[in-house]
Structure 1
Amino acid sequence: MIGALLVGACGTTSSVTAGSKGSAAGEKIDNLKIIVPAEPGGGWDQTGRAMQRAVDTAALAGNTQVQNIGGSGGTVGLAKLAQEKEPDTLMVTGLVMVGAIETNKSETTLADTTPIARLTEEPLVVVVPAESPYKTIDDLIEAVQQKGRGVSITGGSAGGADHILAGMMLKDAGVGADKLNYIPYSGGGESLAALLGNKVDAGISGVAEYADQVKAGKLRALAVSGAAASPELPKIKTLSDQGVDVTLTNWRGVIAPGDIDQQKAAQLTRLVDDMHGSGGWKKALKTNSWEDAYLSGKEFSGYLAAETTSVQGTLRDIGLTK
């Protein structure tokens, strides 16, 4: 199961060596670009802008800009990264992109990039509009069993973490993937608008993206997908505690263009290492209820390769790819 690979957060590591040009010499990046491969308002956007604030506050770069390039689960942005001529560029990535590469049959893959670091992980939450007749996760799954595609579930891009969780829940209940009516959006803000407008029956996203609306009483949370309750929504039980044998957490990280040299990769890794240790980033973790899952350098490269293999198998198992 994917969740088994996602929960083992490790301590800070780095591929930067004492002889790395730039990092060892204290050379600062003048202009850092952070590409967010999604529209504003979602988890990737929150991550990219939290990075920008932390980098700026700690004065780790001369100037930091965020660029949003949405579409197709991040694969539009991924293709742009492959053509990026500016080496001082980082792009937010994560489980969503790993899945979208497979479901969208993207010509550009993560093998065409330079892995830099895994940053965070967080559980997902399954919600319904406040007026929904579905009071429990069992109610929602039973409705899909009976109505099939008559029940709509929204979330992030096709093949991403939200889509994977929907498929895993139905598979656990013995419901075929053909009954899943999943409506993808490229940003969390769009899926939230669909839920609040009662245009869909249910939604799945990271806890941080829906928590405020749950607390405000505009959405009803049915379950979270982690191994334990989320501190952000402590009263909401996990799927496993409610008899659904599924555990899944969503990770996010950063990658760089694939054609940069080792010295530039080391310099970017050092910058992200320093950002991770900054007070601004620690504040962002607390504010967004993100779990620190930091892993950088060669260790992240190995993790990413194993994660890609795991996701490919899971997508086949739940019928999202062949």
Structure 2
Amino acid sequence: MRRDTFLKSLAALATGSSLPMTAWAAGNLKLMIPANPGGGWDGTGRALGAAMQEAGVASSITYENKGGAAGAIGLAQFYNARKGDGDALMVMGAVMLGGEIRNKPPVSVTQVTPIARLTTEYNVFVVPADSPFKTMADVVAQFRKDPGSVKWGGGSAGSTEHIAIAMLAREVGVDPMKINYVPFRGGGEATAAIIGGNVSVGGSGYSEFQPYIEAGKMRAIGVTSEARQAGIPVPTMKELGFNVVLGNWRGVYGAAGISDAQRKALVDMVVKATKTKSWAASLEKNKWTPALLAGKPFADFVDESFASLRATMVKAGMV
């Protein structure tokens, strides 16, 4: 073969459609987790990373935890450090939207690139094993009597558990501005505070508290799902007479300024990862409800979620 013909053949092969779109992104993936270790975002990010490696779409994963301000600190770092980087993802979810609505941080999630929603989870409320509160009715009675005496612990201000508490306050005639809420930057901090009795009631996803509930160190007293969830033996808030229904979804975003081709490749990678055995095992273990929604439908869902959460938070007196 003549040399010029050979070179033309190489060029055609390099640009041809026979190459998989994700080939350029199958090396080291950088995964920003805008929360401290031990929480729902951390668990989601690491489960997704393991699934991506199993799926063969990433040879290695570099994880970075940067907690605080409902994910706004990690979001700002991701936005500034990863512009145009097609090998980067950030875990996010409803908590980040709520925090943005409430706190108006300098960097908005709208400045990075929506990739996919992954799961939905509902908040469970727990008390320490030795708490004088045995049921949610006990908590509500004290909450009505002296709102400030009930110390609630959960994620950052504007998190879904914070919103759920404000919804409960409105339900039982308590001024949401009188809620005594203690935000934590990660599930590990919240768990220690609950077990240590530093907060009266804690809220988060069931998976974060499950080991401590099963070990008898926490008592679950209510969950914010519409109906009882498989594998979660906890009465719903609605079942207990309080119309508090709120889901906490989680997903991933790509960096700002990536191309359409890079975005599509990341979407394909994430979708492929959700079909692995390890991802299925993570869903089962953590009691996550699969809620895959990718590309533009996910972007539209986020826009709708912003509007819905803002309306809920306004009604609950949080904005």
TM norm structure 2: 0.91
Q: Please say if 1:30 is aligned against 2:35.
A: no
Q: Which residue among 47, 61, 64 is the counterpart of 2:61?
A: 64
Q: Which amino acid aligns with 2:301?
A: Y
Distance 1:240 1:27, change over 3 A: same
CA deviations on 1:186-242 (whole Å, 9 max, x unpaired) are: 1011011001111111111001111111111111111111012232322x1101111
- Could you tell me which residue of structure 1 aligns to residue 6 of structure 2? none
Q: 1:21 to 1:83 in 2, by over 3 A?
A: farther
Q: What's the offset of the Cα at 1:261?
A: 0.9
Q: 1:247 aligns with which of 233, 245, 248?
A: 245
Unaligned runs of 5+ residues in structure 1 are: 1-18
How far does residue 246 in structure 1 lie from its aligned partner after superposition? 1.4
Which residue number in structure 2 is paired with residue 282 of structure 1? Answer: 280
The aligned residue for residue 230 of structure 2 is 231
Contact 1:39 1:45 in 2 (8 A): yes
Maintained 8 Å contact 2:170/2:176: yes
Is 1:126 aligned to 2:125, yes or no? yes
Structure 2 unpaired stretches of 5+:
1-15
Alpha-carbon offset, residue 152 of structure 1: 0.2
Query: What does 1:97-116 correspond to in 2, within 5 Å?
Result: 97-116=96-115
Q: CA deviation at 1:151?
A: 1.2
The TM-score with structure 1 as length reference comes to: 0.90
Q: How far 1:283 moved relative to its partner?
A: 1.3
For 1:272, the equivalent position in structure 2 comes to 270
Query: In structure 2, the residue corresponding to 1:230 is in which secondary structure?
Result: coil
Q: 8 Å contact 1:156–1:162 — kept in the other structure?
A: yes
Call closer, same or farther: CA 1:243–1:26 in 2, change over 3 Å: same
Are 1:207 and 1:232, in contact at CA under 8 Å, matched by a contact in 2?
no
Which SS does the other structure have where 1:61 is aligned?
A: coil
* Number of equivalences: 302
Structure 1 residues 28, 109: CA separation in 2 closer, same or farther (over 3 Å shift)? closer
How far apart are the structure 2 equivalents of 1:190 and 1:182? 14
Aligned to 1:156: 155
Counterpart code for 2:257:
D
Which runs of at least 4 in structure 1 moved beyond 6 Å after TM superposition?
19-22
In structure 2, what is the Cα distance between the partners aligned to 1:53 and 1:160? 26
Cα distance in 2 between the residues matched to 1:104 and 1:21? 47
Identity across the alignment (%): 38
Deviation digits for residues 127-170 of structure 1, max 9, x if unmatched? 11111111111111121111111210000111011101111111
Deviation of residue 23 (structure 1)? 4.8
Alpha-carbon contact 1:81-1:256 (below 8 Å) kept: no
Counterpart-to-counterpart distance in 2, 1:73 and 1:25: 31
**In structure 1, what is the Cα distance between the partners aligned to 2:19 and 2:294?**
18
CA separation in 2, counterparts of 1:160 and 1:220? 21
Aligned partner of residue 239 in structure 2, secondary structure:
helix
1:173 aligns with 2:172: yes
3-state SS of 2:81 partner: coil
The answer (yes or no) to whether the contact 2:35–2:67 under 8 Å persists in 1 is yes
Tell me how far 1:26 sits from its aligned partner. 4.8
Q: Which residue does 1:204 correspond to in 2?
A: 203
Give the Cα separation in 2 of the matches to 1:118 and 1:163. 21
CA positional deviation for 1:245: 0.9
Q: Given the alignment, which residue of 285, 299, 312 partners 2:297?
A: 299
CA distance in 2, matches of 1:254, 1:46: 13
Q: Is the 8 A contact 2:54 2:273 kept in 1?
A: no
State the secondary structure of the residue aligned to 1:259.
coil
Q: Distance in 2 between matches of 1:167 and 1:61?
A: 41
Deviation at 1:28, TM superposition (A): 4.3
Q: Deviations over 1:273-318 (max 9, x none)?
A: 1101112211111111110001001110100000011111111111
Q: What CA distance in whole angstroms lies between the structure 1 residues aligned with 2:55 and 2:308?
A: 36
Once residues 283 and 302 of structure 2 are traced to their aligned partners in structure 1, the CA distance between those partners, rounded to angstroms, is 22
**Rounded Cα–Cα distance in structure 1 between residues aligned with 2:22 and 2:78:** 27
One-letter amino acid matched to 1:221: A
How far, CA to CA, are the matches of 2:86 and 2:318 in structure 1? Answer: 35
Could you tell me which residue of structure 2 aligns to residue 5 of structure 1? none
The yes-or-no answer on 1:140 pairing with 2:175 is no
Alpha-carbon distance, 1:55 to partner:
1.2
Q: SS where residue 119 of structure 2 aligns? A: strand
Following superposition, the deviation at residue 22 of structure 1 comes to 6.9
